[in-house]
């Protein structure tokens, strides 16, 4: 295969992997502090993308047309709104069910996801149809043989990787991160040390949901389109990435995200005549990996859960 074309596939795989990793880290954070699977996470991503689109239209209406300001405001508003939504989910749905069987929480978050995407479909203007997402980044491109480097793609990739590095630093280098890790390791001991358990849960859900919104905006910028059903597939892929990497381990979630994207890319390369089946190929390989290593690629250590 031509080196330029191979580089193009690698670049596309990195883009997808970064988005999947952001979603997977959210699942891992939720599981780390509360031992729950938040199945509304993918739909929070979708709502974040639509919030960003609505923000863009609002900016256009008041005359703000400078693209750098638009993209910064869109990202900020969507992230803050979804962080707030995440805190509300934690406060009014997850924490009240803390003593209930895990199946109850799984069911209620699954139903919440349905409410979210149906609300967008029914109440957002033309919400049942795919929505064009504006191009807010430079569209210049540089071609090297069969490899084309789009400036907007490079910026999206760097932004996503920057957020991942930021999460790493937050978890490992700050007092908040230490508190999150303490709660994940041993809730009761953390409480006796004076850590506000409820506040840490709310902050963790805010961080995870904010990451989902950020991933949703990047997805819209990359594909120039969003739709009300996008959260379902991205949520399943993000959850699968977290599981195969080792649920409860942030680095496992990141590796799982990039692994899933790599499998999709390999599927396209191996079956160029049927690239629509790349997801089938990727999920098939993930099933085999899970059969081989049920605990994930990076087995969870209680002391390093988050």
pLDDT at 301: 45
The proportion of the chain whose per-residue pLDDT surpasses 70, expressed as a percent, equals 95
What number is the average pLDDT over the span 42-61?
96
pLDDT tens-digit map of 171-199: 999 999 999 999 988 889 999 999 999 99
Q: Which domain holds residue 206?
A: 22-304
Instruction: Judge contact between 210 and 80, C-beta under 8 A.
Output: yes
Residue that the structure tokens 């991160």 belong to: 177
Q: Please give the residue that has the higher pLDDT: either 237 or 296.
A: 237
Rounded (10°) CA dihedral 232, 238, 239, 242: 180
Task: Please write the tens of the pLDDT for every residue from 239-279.
Answer: 999 999 988 789 999 999 999 999 998 888 777 665 677 88
In a domain, 16, yes or no: no
Structurally, the chain folds into a number of domains equal to: 1
Residue 10 domain-assigned? Answer: no
Rounded to the nearest angstrom, the gap between the alpha carbon of residue 109 and the centroid of all alpha carbons in its chain is 16
Mean pLDDT of 117-131: 94
d(CA 240, CA 277): 17
Mean model confidence pLDDT for the chain: 90
Query: Is position 2 within any domain?
Result: no
CATH number, domain with residue 163: 1.10.3470
Mean pLDDT of the region 42-66: 96
Q: Which residue has the tokens 């990727």?
A: 282
pLDDT value, residue 1: 58
Assess if residue 6 is contained within a domain: no
Query: Which of 1-15, 95-109, 201-215, 217-231 is predicted with the least confidence, judged by mean pLDDT?
Result: 1-15
Look-up of token digits 């230490």: 178
Q: pLDDT per residue over 72-120, tens digit each? A: 999 999 999 999 999 999 999 999 998 888 889 989 999 999 999 999 9
pLDDT at residue 304 tops 80: no
**The token pair that represents 121 in the structure block:** 């479909």
Distance CA 175, CA 238 (A): 27
Determine, yes or no, domain membership for 9: no
259 closest CA partner among 285, 231, 220: 285
Establish if 264 belongs to a structural domain: yes
The torsion angles phi and psi of 228, rounded to 5 degrees, stand at -65, -20
Q: Which of 137, 121, 158, 136 is nearest to 46 (CA)?
A: 121
Residue 253 maps to a domain: yes
In a domain, 15, yes or no: no
Q: What's residue 198's pLDDT?
A: 95
Residues forming beta bridges with residue 63, ordered by sequence position: none
218 or 2, which is more confident? 218
Would the pLDDT of 161 be above 50?
Answer: yes
Q: What is the per-residue pLDDT for 247?
A: 82
């Amino acid at each position: 295969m031509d080196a330029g074309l191979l580089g193009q596939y690698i670049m596309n795989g990195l883009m997808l992997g970064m988005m999947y990793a952001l979603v997977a880290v959210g699942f891992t954070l939720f599981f780390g502090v509360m031992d729950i699977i938040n199945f509304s996470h993918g739909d929070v991503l979708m709502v974040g993308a639509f919030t960003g689109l609505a923000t863009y239209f609002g900016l256009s209406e008041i005359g703000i047309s400078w693209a750098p300001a638009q993209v910064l405001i869109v990202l900020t508003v969507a992230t803050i709104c979804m962080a707030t939504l995440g805190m509300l989910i934690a406060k009014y749905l997850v924490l009240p069910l803390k003593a209930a069987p895990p199946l109850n929480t799984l069911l209620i978050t699954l139903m919440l996801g349905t409410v979210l995407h149906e609300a967008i479909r029914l109440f957002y203007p033309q919400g049942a149809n795919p929505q064009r997402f504006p191009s807010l980044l430079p569209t210049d491109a540089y071609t090297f043989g069969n490899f084309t480097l789009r400036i907007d793609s490079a910026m999206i990739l760097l932004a996503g990787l920057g957020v991942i590095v930021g999460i790493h630093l937050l978890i490992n280098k700050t007092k908040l991160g230490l508190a999150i890790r303490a709660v994940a390791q041993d809730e009761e001991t953390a409480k006796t040390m004076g850590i506000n358990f409820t506040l840490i849960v709310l902050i963790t859900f805010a961080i995870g949901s904010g990451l989902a919104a950020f991933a949703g905006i990047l997805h819209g910028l990359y594909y120039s389109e969003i739709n009300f059903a996008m959260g379902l597939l991205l949520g399943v892929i993000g959850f699968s990435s977290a599981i195969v990497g080792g649920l409860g381990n942030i680095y496992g979630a990141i590796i799982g995200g990039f692994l899933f994207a790599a499998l999709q890319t390999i599927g396209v390369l191996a079956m160029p005549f049927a690239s629509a089946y790349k997801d089938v190929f990727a999920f098939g390989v993930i099933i085999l990996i899970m059969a081989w290593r049920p605990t994930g690629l990076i087995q969870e250590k209680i002391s390093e859960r988050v």
